[in-house]
C-alpha cells in the first residue's frame, strides 16, 4: 500500500474514507468480527474528519441523521473499533481518530496541531525501540504506549509567518 496523503495536504478525502472502510471490512472479516451498520457508520464519521472527534460529536452526528442513539451506543462502537485497531483514542483530547496504519503492529505516535486541530499518525521504530528499551531497563513489562505530541503543524507555521 502506498503512503497515505498527509492530512494537511489537499487530497480527495472521500477516497481516503472509502479506502479506510474497505480495509475495515476486510480486517473484520479476517478476525470474524461483525462490522455492523452502526459500527461502520461511526467509523465513517470519524474518518470524515481529520480532526479527532469526541464521542459526543459522533453522537450528535448520528442523532442528527435520525439514528436514535444514546451515549452507550457510541462508546460501544468506539470500543469495538479500538479493539480491532480501526480507531485510536487520543487521551490528551478525549477524542478519537481513524487509524492510519491498520494491520501494522503500530506504536502510534500522534502529532497534534494545537492551532488547526489536525492529527497525523506516525509509526517510528526508532521511537518505539527507545521506549521499549527504557521500560526494559526498569524491568517493566510494556503493554500499551500512549504517545501524543502537541505543537504546530507545518501548514500553521507557514500561516504564522505570513502575519
Partner DNA sequence: AAAAAAGTGCAACATTATAACAGTTGCGAG
Partner DNA sequence: CTCGCAACTGTTATAATGTTGCACTTTTTT
Closest to 41 (Cα-Cα) out of 3, 4, 80:
80
Query: Binder to DNA among 68, 125, 160, 161 (CB under 7 A)?
Result: 68
Closest to 113 (Cα-Cα) out of 55, 162, 43, 50:
50
73 binding partner (options DNA, a copy of itself, none; Cβ < 5 to 8 Å by kind): DNA
Using CB under 7 A as the binding rule, whether residue 151 contacts DNA is answered as no
Decide whether 34 or 71 has the Cβ nearer to a copy of itself.
Answer: 71
Query: Binder to a copy of itself among 71, 72, 103, 151 (CB under 8 A)?
Result: 151
CA dihedral 59, 60, 64, 69 (to 10 degrees): 30
77 binding partner (options DNA, a copy of itself, none; Cβ < 5 to 8 Å by kind): DNA
Cα–chain-centroid distance for residue 5? 15
DSSP 66: T
- Quick one: which segment of 20-28, 59-67, 77-85, 116-124 binds a copy of itself (CB under 8 A)? 116-124
Amino acid at each position: 500500500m502506498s503512503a497515505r496523503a498527509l492530512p494537511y495536504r489537499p487530497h480527495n478525502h472521500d477516497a481516503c474514507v472509502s479506502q479506510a472502510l474497505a480495509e475495515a471490512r476486510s480486517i473484520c472479516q479476517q478476525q470474524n468480527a461483525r462490522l455492523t451498520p452502526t459500527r461502520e457508520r461511526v467509523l465513517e464519521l470519524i474518518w470524515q474528519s481529520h480532526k479527532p472527534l469526541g464521542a459526543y460529536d459522533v453522537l450528535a452526528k448520528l442523532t442528527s441523521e435520525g439514528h436514535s442513539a444514546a451515549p452507550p451506543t457510541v462508546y460501544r462502537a468506539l470500543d469495538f473499533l479500538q479493539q480491532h485497531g480501526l480507531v485510536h483514542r487520543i487521551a490528551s483530547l478525549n477524542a478519537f481518530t481513524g487509524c492510519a496504519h491498520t494491520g501494522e503492529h503500530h506504536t502510534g505516535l500522534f502529532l497534534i496541531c494545537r492551532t488547526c486541530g489536525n492529527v497525523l499518525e506516525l509509526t517510528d521504530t526508532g521511537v518505539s525501540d527507545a521506549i521499549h528499551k527504557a521500560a526494559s531497563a526498569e524491568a517493566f513489562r510494556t503493554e500499551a504506549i500512549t504517545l501524543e505530541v502537541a505543537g504546530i503543524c507545518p501548514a500553521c507555521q507557514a500561516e504564522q509567518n505570513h502575519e
